[in-house]
Amino acid sequence: MGILLNRGGADLNNSAHFPASPPQVMPLCLAGAAAAGLIGLVYANGSARLALAAIIGLFAGIALYHASFGFTSAWQRFAFERRGAGLRAQILLILLTCAITFPLLAAGKIFGQPIHGSIAPFGIAAAFGAFLFGIGMHMGGSCASGTLFTMGGGNTRMLATLAGFVAGSLVATAHLVFWRSLPGFAPLSIVETYGAVAAYALTALLLGGLFIYSRRREIRHHGQLERDDRQFNLIRGPWPKLWGCHALVFVSIATLLVLSRPWGITSAFALWGAKLGRAAGIPVDGWPYWANRQAWLDQPVWMDSTSVMNFGIVVGALAAAALAGRFSPIFRLTLRELVIALMAGLLMGYGARLAYGCNIGAYLGGVVSGSLHGWGWLLFGFLGLSVSASLASRLKGSFNRRADQ
């Protein structure tokens, strides 16, 4: 568990070390047709804004794939291998994004249009949800964005993870009345409370401390920082983490400018689950969560901005995999792999609804909005991943000792 497979079964962290292969024409044509169809569909329905969102999603998919920018792998490598390059790339991503989003959110408008951050309360439900999400991240080896871009890149196991994500998200919406009744802290934005400058200084202080700590810990454990000696290519990949970081800064800011809110992913999974549940005869319209969101539930998925961006990520990753010559889906899954992928998706889907989002919508979106719930998500999400990894390691050791006896 906890190994993210991609590009025809390659380890996500090492996949770009393989010799370059020629671009694959058929998958690239498929990606081009899908991209044109997605952009054309939403534009034909009268939404230039959603057409731009689709383009942003496509670029996000390419960036995530080429840079292998996985939140899960970065956390796991820092916690258990003492390698912090991925974590430091996340820190830089947040700091650069905050430098733009904090002043914009403090102003409250962009081009005369109101904007809002991802500000949410944090309490027992959100902490438990983030903890569950962390467990699911370790089990499945992916997060929400990782599920989408690795699936687009040819990892068929992520189809099962996505199915679990959708099912878990739907089930959680049936229980949210209970979870929202539990104690918690009210929403708090440090941008609104202290102003953009002070909020950024506080955020930079916290993240800067974590950045320095990760460097020192890696050097103390390994003697030097890890070097990346791969040959990089802007079009075909791979990309260094720094390129991926800057690309995702653009994605985060462009999303705020175009959609007037931060980047998110998992709300779309709940919508997909509700639509499938309604089609199957499940009375989701009567659930309090959906009773207050009838307009959202009734509209086509291609008119939902989060869904459009998610589709774009999958198609963009397909294009990137084809350019890299590594789109080679494997459809042979063992029952164990299938069950673990489904369980991981269920935990992450359920947890994301309780915690007001995933590592993108709640953690990244929360922190770059100045919301304290983003920091709470980071703490409990990392705790869940660490506990799951520790238990898995102990179980593996126990099984190995028994096998040796």
pLDDT-derived band at 333 (thresholds 50, 70, 90) equals confident
Lowest mean pLDDT among 9-23, 69-83, 115-129, 367-381: 9-23
CA angle 33, 145, 253 (to 5 degrees): 85
Q: Is 76 exposed, middle or buried (0-12, 13-18, 19+ CB in 10 A)?
A: buried
Instruction: Answer whether residue 351 shows pLDDT above 90.
Output: yes
Q: Which residues contact 298 (CB under 8 A, 6 or more apart)?
A: none
CA distance 260 to 257: 6
> Closest Cα partner for 250 from 379, 1, 64?
64
What is the average per-residue pLDDT within 142-162? 94
* Confidence at residue 230, expressed as pLDDT on a 0 to 100 scale: 86
- The fraction of the chain above a pLDDT of 90, given in percent, is 79
The answer to which of 16-25, 161-170, 247-256, 271-280 has the lowest mean pLDDT is 16-25
pLDDT tens digit sequence for 56-108: 999 999 999 999 998 888 888 888 888 989 999 999 999 999 999 999 999 99
For the segment 280-306, the average pLDDT, to the nearest whole number, is 94
* Helix H or strand E encompassing 229: none
pLDDT at 121: 96
Residue 99's identity, in one-letter code, is A
Q: Is the pLDDT of residue 2 over 70?
A: no
DSSP 8-51: TTEETTTGGGSPP-PPPHHHHHHHHHHHHHHHHHHHHTT-HHHH
pLDDT at 1: 36
Among 108-112, 128-132, 188-192, 334-338, the least confident range: 108-112
Paired with 102 in beta bridges are none
Alpha-carbon span 48 to 84, nearest angstrom: 40
Residue 18: pLDDT band by 50, 70, 90 thresholds? very low
Instruction: Reply yes or no on whether the pLDDT at 50 is more than 80.
Output: yes
Whether 3 has a pLDDT exceeding 90, the answer reads no
Beta carbons within 10 angstroms of residue 270's beta carbon: 28
Element (H, E) at 62: helix 48-67
**Considering the chain, what is the average pLDDT of its residues?**
90
Position 47 scores a pLDDT of 86
> How far, in Å, CA of 330 to CA of 160, rounded?
13
Q: Which of 374, 377, 371 is nearest to 102 (CA)?
A: 371
Contacts of residue 270, defined as CB under 8 A and 6 or more positions apart, other chains included, come to 166, 169, 170, 172, 173, 349, 353
Segment 354-371, tens digit of pLDDT: 999 999 999 999 999 999
Q: Which residue has the higher pLDDT, 167 or 329?
A: 167
pLDDT of residue 16: 42
What's the pTM value of the predicted model, to 2 decimals? Answer: 0.91
Identify the burial level of 103 via C-beta atoms within 10 angstroms of its C-beta, where 0-12 means exposed, 13-18 middle and 19 or more buried. Answer: middle
Residue 285 has pLDDT above 70, yes or no: yes
Across the range 370-387, mean pLDDT stands at: 95
Residue 5 has φ and ψ, to the nearest 5°, of -95, 145
Q: Is 123 helix (H, G, I), strand (E, B) or coil?
A: strand
CA dist 131 to 66, 79, 138, 343, 384, Å? 29, 16, 11, 15, 4
Give φ, ψ of 109 to 5 degrees: -145, 150
Amino acid, res. 239: W
A 10 A CB-CB count for 7 gives: 25
DSSP-assigned states of every residue in 301-353: GGG-HHHHHHHHHHHHHHHHHHHHT---------HHHHHHHHHHHHHHHHHHH
Element (H, E) at 254: helix 241-259
Contact between 62 and 320 under an 8 Å Cβ cutoff? The reply is yes
Does 114 sit behind a cis peptide bond, omega within 30 degrees of 0 on the bond before it? no
Q: Does residue 137 contact residue 385 with C-beta atoms inside 8 Å?
A: yes
**What average pLDDT score do residues 230-252 get?**
94
